[in-house]
């Protein structure tokens, strides 16, 4: 998962919906968000105007199509995804997410993730800014702003985040979102809640698993519209 990918925000919300929809499956579903860096070679702290970046990458006509596709899915999930603001290297945000997971597990990590997604996509904030992330960390209960700034200025979890991201690429992951379920199903792209619910019901022995369709994702070359086929392991 990378925070600058709109399909990761959409996929996150779809997964949350699927977990609620599968409440009758009597499953214990635990979620851990692991990092992927879409801009691994971008200088940390550097920002690029998001609109300019996408216009140069896709052109006006294709960007309009992307916006329409993303906005339609976002509206269904009651979230707002804008294309204004700043594109940046996300390793600082990933380090904060890892810290949240280590401090408060899934619940705190998802609280911080929601806050970062909202800040980036809805408010157009610079999520590489140490002081902004420090305020966000305090608001979400990870630790105080001063402690967060000190943490972000250090190298804590940096090597771990880089290793996780590199391991994903070595295993063939080239785009996000990419979700591994129960070590058996590898689901690529911004799938709908129905796809995840189908897998959960299969795990619970309450239904069949049909072919998982291709879904849009973000990659180094094609964020945010490339369609990535889902891999299914029996």
| Distance (Å, whole) CA 62 – CA 73 | 17
pLDDT at 222: 59
pLDDT at 220: 75
Scan for tokens 């940046």, then name that residue: 88
| Distance (Å, whole) CA 96 – CA 13 | 20
Entry pTM: 0.93
The pLDDT averaged over each successive group of 10 residues in the chain (234 residues) is 97 98 95 96 93 93 94 97 95 98 98 98 97 98 98 98 96 95 94 97 94 91 48 35
pLDDT at 224: 55
Q: Which tokens is 143 given? A: 């630790």
pLDDT at 228: 34
Residue 25 contacts residue 196 (beta carbons within 8 Å): no
């Amino acid at each position: 998962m990378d925070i600058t990918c709109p399909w990761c925000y959409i996929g996150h919300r779809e997964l949350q919906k699927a977990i609620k929809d599968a409440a009758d499956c009597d499953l214990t579903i635990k979620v851990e968000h692991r990092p992927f860096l879409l801009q691994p070679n971008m200088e940390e702290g550097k920002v690029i105007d998001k609109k300019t970046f996408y216009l140069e990458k896709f052109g006006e006509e294709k960007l309009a199509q992307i916006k329409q596709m993303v906005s339609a899915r976002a509206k269904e999930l009651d979230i707002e995804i804008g294309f204004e603001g700043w594109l940046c290297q996300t390793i600082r945000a990933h380090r904060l997410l890892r810290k949240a997971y280590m401090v408060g597990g899934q619940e705190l990590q998802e609280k911080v993730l929601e806050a970062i997604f909202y800040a980036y996509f809805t408010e157009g904030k610079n999520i590489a800014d140490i002081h902004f992330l420090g305020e966000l960390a305090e608001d979400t209960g990870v630790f105080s702003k001063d402690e967060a700034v000190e943490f972000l200025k250090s190298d804590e979890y940096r090597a771990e985040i880089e290793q996780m991201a590199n391991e994903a690429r070595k295993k063939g992951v080239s785009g996000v979102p990419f979700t591994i379920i129960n070590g058996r199903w590898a689901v690529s792209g911004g799938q709908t809640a129905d796809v995840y619910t189908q897998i959960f019901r299969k795990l619970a022995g309450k239904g069949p698993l049909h072919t998982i369709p291709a879904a849009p994702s973000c990659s180094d070359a094609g964020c945010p519209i490339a369609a990535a086929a889902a891999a299914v392991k029996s």
